[in-house]
Structure 1
């Protein structure tokens, strides 16, 4: 069937439901399910099947289709709403309440579910929950119908349709604040961050008293890694509302982003002194303490979060993500208990799975550990719209865009300041950063977003990025390089050179060498099985969407190798590949090699890198605060029987 035929059938099912023609609707559903459907189409048809059977009071069949829906998309809000209606019809009040709550959690635009929850909260005399639900219902009812509809589409991940509805509304109601914020949120979901930033900046200028717009603007600045600007916005907001809990915590988050950890920790502690029952803030405090190197206090903060919310998955994962914490029998049992609870939220379940995997791996229970890693990765991947083939094509486009004739040392900003450390996550880049940052002439910073931001700003032209880079004139290239140097200045401490450790910058080496021809580039490599399996075990805060499937991560590694081979071919001598295992075997030899490539004299401090005090925000922070050790090598081997998909993708 053509897509048009499928849409015609779907409309026919909806018409049959409106006429209570359940038998006809069910026949058309069965016919569609027997054909080849896209994932989105299959979701929609199973949803209509669940509605059909519920309205026909065939609840067992409805439950069956809902089970399929939630296996395909465990964060599908409308599926939970249907589940709640079915439980309600069957007299399962507790299960219905839980499902209505999950429906509003995943799709906050579902007014019907909010109204059901309001009735439940009123029956239980839960004053705080009643106020919250009443406020949300009033907000949703105040929205123009197209904006509410677009919100619903966005929460159900129909981003293109949501964007179309929103843009159509804005053509007739220019500068409508809710529509502008919604369009920005859609842009964030589609990773068109520069458009989202422009929309929210405009919204804040037009509506300076709109607190929701100001918070959204600050969030997009943080997402773009523009933490200095985020700090400025937060401080301005705090002047007008000095007692706001949300503004204080957002200021602390931005301060962590620029490395002002002492002030951030003070803000978090002041907030928690007034509001101790805030598990999310305890975890944020833990992250700041961990970045500072105060691991015992970080662990205490994470454990405090668990004391206040035993189902808060991020707290368990944060403990596991110190890489040095060992879970007690009691905590392992508590995590297992939470995982088996029907009330656990999806994101908490994902975090607990990864934490249990780490806890059991530490005990040598590879089989059980892998089951939890696999479950966590499968759940996480089901919430993403990631296609490895599209990523492979994007990396191939970089190879088509740049040849050796496209590079020279004359154009672009001539500043020699940046040292880019690139590669895959978990490849040893934090160790290289710590070694270099121990040198007196090098500032360590963090994983900076600025090159990604420049690439994004070039993506919406007539000729798309990266094919348009070589058409940029010398003046533009110089300005882009100077912009990068200026934007990153807030993260530096005054040394002549500084490190940008964003691993994904390997994709943009062509752009980097066009706008910053004197930049140094170091490619951090690690044994592919160790690197890929370590990535598979890691739950990333954001991005790295290729890492939640063994096949995807193997294919990504191969595409990375292929692109790096291309960069070496077109930029001979401009990139230094450093093999992690060689650093472990010959630290001084590799340190001298790295310093020589960067034009730096040898300093003993680089060998004693673990003694260097600095902000480190990556998962490896505790590992690089210790002397060199080799226990990370071969960690995949106890899991080898489960890694055939990875081996196949790597061609091993």
Structure 2
């Protein structure tokens, strides 16, 4: 670094703070001319380019900082945030293991760094950082909370519960911990948190995120206790609070389906890229709460299959191809742009990430349910990819969505009319893929998966080209990590009594039933 590069960076920061993005961009570029690869200016320029929509250049710029020495812990974290934005998972994991991050960052930044690592299934690195951070800051509520989550994802419910209680002891208004405590186990009349949750519900600001956390937690506990009237009242309050925070517009969904039907014809989808994938992805798609986690956990028991979890790795390559960020996933404009996209380039860039996603195994699961929107584009880019579609009863699926508090996804799930409309759109989209890719997508009924797990998973293995392995239905086995809404049940074995829960709320769900009819 030169003094000139530092001075220009400081001027660029002042311009950025003043919202003068043009001047900031010019100054960041001059700083990089004075000292190529200077990390503060790389991060600043990448951020400005993102703000003005130059997605591809922003990505190229930030990659120049990968592997360079970072002089300050704030730079380590800022670069980590940029790498997470671009789904550069391997580089993110390496970056956040820089000792300077642990040595010089405040507890809340360390907690956020643990979440960044956990979000990409870098589980060992997340655990190491959380433990080291807690050794330095043992009374930090955010660190206690994220450590509890890691215990929960590992299946250690007792340790998770202890962390959540410690979080609340340090900060009684850390409402996320109360929500997670409700999920750790089934509540009983002798052991529950209903009184505390009701007190917290009175303390949470109306319409706030805190109100949503507490209301969903109270719903779960009252449901466990058989107080279905009280549980519904809490759920309705939670849904209302969440809807005030997260808007939803069904119009783009209809536009997306129309665009997919126009662009993704049988000829287009089957054209296929010539780029080979050395590690074969198995995309498990469907609605949230349809059994995707259960199937992934079964397949993860196979010695040839790695479990990547829920990533947006394919979306990341689409974004680069069309030079536009897609924070909410594929949209109609993106589909139209992809009609003339370089699918060899998409396949090549995806292949760059595949060894890390698969942990070196020849196959790996990608179980982001909303990849059902991407089936046609994935098939075009990667003829080797396999697709498994989980199909679950509409009412079971939709009610499970309604009573799940999602983080940043499933914005359709808080109003019955919107939820039913989205479900019908999803079924329409999957019907289209069945028409254009009749042999590529294997439908797996959730009822079959839980009633005859061994037979069903063997059918999945055959479809994927995997060798026959017995005993994969033993999802209660130790090892692995489940970091989705199914974490509380994924290790309990194959549960055959999870259908029909919505009958307890039949009257309140009349609108949903009517909208799903047919």
**Structure 1-normalised TM-score?**
0.67
Match for residue 295 of structure 2?
432
- 1:235 equivalent to 2:97? Answer yes
* Structure 2: gaps of 5 or more residues: 1-11, 32-39, 325-331
Q: Over residues 302-348 of structure 1, what are the superposed CA-to-partner deviations in whole Å (9 max), with x where a residue is unaligned?
A: 12111111111110111223354558677211121122126689222
Match for residue 569 of structure 1?
435
Match for residue 397 of structure 1?
259
- 1:467 equivalent to 2:336? Answer yes
- 1:450 equivalent to 2:450? Answer no
Q: Residues of 1 paired with 2:391 and 2:78: CA distance? A: 37
* Contact in 2 for aligned 1:428/1:524 (Cα 8 Å): yes
CA RMSD of aligned residues (A): 3.5
Q: Residues of 1 paired with 2:362 and 2:400: CA distance? A: 34
Query: Could you tell me how far 1:503 is from its partner in structure 2?
Result: 0.9
Using a 3 Å threshold, how does the CA distance of structure 1 residues 208 and 608 change in structure 2: closer, same or farther?
Answer: closer
Match for residue 332 of structure 1?
194
Which of 477, 495, 516 aligns to 1:629? It is 495
Q: Residues of 1 paired with 2:282 and 2:102: CA distance? A: 41
Q: Over residues 105-157 of structure 1, what are the superposed CA-to-partner deviations in whole Å (9 max), with x where a residue is unaligned?
A: xxxxxxxxxxxxxxxxxxxxxxxxxxxxxxxxxxxxx9979956x6xxxxxxx
Q: Residues of 1 paired with 2:174 and 2:189: CA distance? A: 16
Q: Over residues 576-614 of structure 1, what are the superposed CA-to-partner deviations in whole Å (9 max), with x where a residue is unaligned?
A: 011101212222221221111112232212132322521
Q: Residues of 2 paired with 1:263 and 1:466: CA distance? A: 36
- 1:421 equivalent to 2:284? Answer yes
* Contact in 2 for aligned 1:311/1:344 (Cα 8 Å): no
Query: Could you tell me how far 1:241 is from its partner in structure 2?
Result: 7.2
- Structure 1 residue matching 2:404: 3-state secondary structure: coil
- 1:490 equivalent to 2:356? Answer yes
- 1:288 equivalent to 2:150? Answer yes
Q: Over residues 141-188 of structure 1, what are the superposed CA-to-partner deviations in whole Å (9 max), with x where a residue is unaligned?
A: x9979956x6xxxxxxxxxxxxxxx6566578666989x869949969
Match for residue 8 of structure 2?
none
* Contact in 2 for aligned 1:424/1:504 (Cα 8 Å): yes
Q: Residues of 1 paired with 2:163 and 2:231: CA distance? A: 25
- 1:373 equivalent to 2:242? Answer no
Using a 3 Å threshold, how does the CA distance of structure 1 residues 457 and 479 change in structure 2: closer, same or farther?
Answer: closer
Match for residue 452 of structure 2?
586
Q: Over residues 504-537 of structure 1, what are the superposed CA-to-partner deviations in whole Å (9 max), with x where a residue is unaligned?
A: 1110111101111111000111111111111111
- Structure 2 residue matching 1:540: 3-state secondary structure: coil
Match for residue 300 of structure 1?
162
Using a 3 Å threshold, how does the CA distance of structure 1 residues 196 and 370 change in structure 2: closer, same or farther?
Answer: farther
Using the TM superposition, name which of 248-257 and 199-208 deviates more: 199-208
Query: Could you tell me how far 1:493 is from its partner in structure 2?
Result: 3.3
Using a 3 Å threshold, how does the CA distance of structure 1 residues 648 and 181 change in structure 2: closer, same or farther?
Answer: farther
Instruction: State how 1:98-137 maps to structure 2 within 5 Å.
Output: none
Match for residue 387 of structure 1?
249
Match for residue 270 of structure 1?
132
* Contact in 1 for aligned 2:312/2:368 (Cα 8 Å): yes
Match for residue 104 of structure 1?
none
Match for residue 329 of structure 2?
none
* Contact in 1 for aligned 2:276/2:384 (Cα 8 Å): yes
Match for residue 46 of structure 1?
none
* Structure 1: gaps of 5 or more residues: 1-141, 151-165
- Structure 2 residue matching 1:235: 3-state secondary structure: coil
- Structure 1 residue matching 2:350: 3-state secondary structure: helix
Instruction: State how 1:143-182 maps to structure 2 within 5 Å.
Output: 147=17, 167=21, 170=24
Using a 3 Å threshold, how does the CA distance of structure 1 residues 497 and 454 change in structure 2: closer, same or farther?
Answer: same
Q: Residues of 2 paired with 1:342 and 1:325: CA distance? A: 22
Q: Residues of 1 paired with 2:261 and 2:492: CA distance? A: 39
Using a 3 Å threshold, how does the CA distance of structure 1 residues 367 and 518 change in structure 2: closer, same or farther?
Answer: same
- 1:480 equivalent to 2:342? Answer no
- May I ask how many residue pairs the two structures share in their alignment? 489
* Contact in 2 for aligned 1:396/1:563 (Cα 8 Å): no
- Structure 2 residue matching 1:296: 3-state secondary structure: helix
Q: Residues of 2 paired with 1:414 and 1:204: CA distance? A: 26
Instruction: State how 1:494-573 maps to structure 2 within 5 Å.
Output: 494-573=360-439
Query: Could you tell me how far 1:198 is from its partner in structure 2?
Result: 6.2
* Contact in 2 for aligned 1:360/1:366 (Cα 8 Å): yes
Q: Name the structure, 1 or 2, with higher relative contact order (CA <8 Å, separation 6+).
A: 2
Q: Residues of 1 paired with 2:321 and 2:512: CA distance? A: 34
Q: Residues of 2 paired with 1:364 and 1:205: CA distance? A: 55
Instruction: State how 1:86-105 maps to structure 2 within 5 Å.
Output: none
- Structure 2 residue matching 1:488: 3-state secondary structure: helix
- Structure 2 residue matching 1:641: 3-state secondary structure: coil
Q: Residues of 2 paired with 1:174 and 1:651: CA distance? A: 57
Match for residue 469 of structure 2?
603
Q: Over residues 429-473 of structure 1, what are the superposed CA-to-partner deviations in whole Å (9 max), with x where a residue is unaligned?
A: 011111111122212221121012122223447x9421233423x
Using a 3 Å threshold, how does the CA distance of structure 1 residues 301 and 345 change in structure 2: closer, same or farther?
Answer: farther
- 1:650 equivalent to 2:508? Answer no
* Contact in 2 for aligned 1:411/1:517 (Cα 8 Å): yes
Structure number with bigger Rg: 1
* Contact in 2 for aligned 1:283/1:318 (Cα 8 Å): no
Using a 3 Å threshold, how does the CA distance of structure 1 residues 348 and 194 change in structure 2: closer, same or farther?
Answer: farther
Using a 3 Å threshold, how does the CA distance of structure 1 residues 374 and 521 change in structure 2: closer, same or farther?
Answer: same
